[in-house]
Structure formats: structure tokens, C-alpha cells
Amino acid sequence: MTHGVERAQSRRNLLERIAARIPGIKGYLDRELRREVDKMQRDWLAEQVDRSRGRLNGKVREWSRGGGLAGLDLAATSEKALDRFANRIRHADYGYTGFFDAVKIREPELDQLYEFDLALMDTVEGLAAQVEALPATGPEPALHELLEAVTEADRRFDDRARIFEDVTQKGGR
């Protein structure tokens, strides 16, 4: 993530030099930096979900080595759900529109996105805690709970897209 911050800062320095010469470009710079930060945040969250998925796969290996095969189908379904969730986060729309985008995300919608993304961080942390807490034996009940939690998180992620749909329907400009 450090490389991404350096890249964003480097771009910002170049753009600041341009902005010093062109009236009205400061707002453009701020919006573009917000887009970059939004992308970095979503990439980081997706990586956290991927780590949880990796930990789940590690637990599956432990269970199978120990002869615990009963929950493997459920674990595979949970792993796929985590993968889908990570990819949805990774490839979601930007939380802030660019200067020249036709549909503009305004401050109230941006605040909704920030609140949503903050809650999403808590959700991702909760999923990681559930994976860590999976028992060494008899994991089926905990796997059911994990799958339900991932399914619910994925369903709630649809609310993020609805913020953009609301802007489009209102004719955000």
C-alpha cells in the first residue's frame, strides 16, 4: 500500500505544479486524489477478505489432514463466497466521480459512501474474526454462521451501488 501512496503523492505534486498555473483546477485535484484514495481503500479491504479466505483454506487443510471431511463442502462454498465478496469490493464503482464524469457524486452521497465504507471495514474485520475462531473439530455450525455472515455482507454491499443509482435517477450533474 505504501507504493500506492507514493504514486498518489507523486501525481499530486505534478498536478499541484500544473494547478498553480491554471485557475479553477484545485477542485479537480482534490476529486482525483479522493478517487485514488477510494481505490486504495477498496483494494486494501479486498486484500483483507482474501487473507481471510486464505486462512479458511489453511483450516480446511488442517481438517482434511485430521480426517475431518464433514464440513468441506460448506467450507468450499464459504471460500467461494469470500472470493466473490472480495472481487465485488475490488471492482466497485469509485466513491467519488472525476471532474469530467457525466454523473456527479455530491457531498451528501459522498458522506453516505464514507459511512458505508467505514461500516464495511467493521464487517470485514468481523469476517476475519469468524474465520480465526473456526474450531479445529466439528466446524459445521461455525461454517454455517460464517457463510451466513458472508452472504449478508455481500447482500449489504448492494447498498453501496444503490447510492450511485440514486444519484443517476436524480440526474446528478
- Of 130, 137, 124, the C-alpha closest to 64 is 137
Mean pLDDT, the chain cut into blocks of 10 residues (173 residues total):
68 66 63 74 94 96 84 93 96 57 59 83 96 90 96 92 66 47
Give domain limits for the chain.
38-170
- Quickly list H helices, the chain: 2-19, 26-65, 72-90, 107-132, 140-170
Whether the model clears a pTM of 0.95, i.e. scores above it, the answer is: no
Here the cell at position 69 is 471431511
Please give the pLDDT value at position 99: 41
CATH number of 38-170: 1.20.930
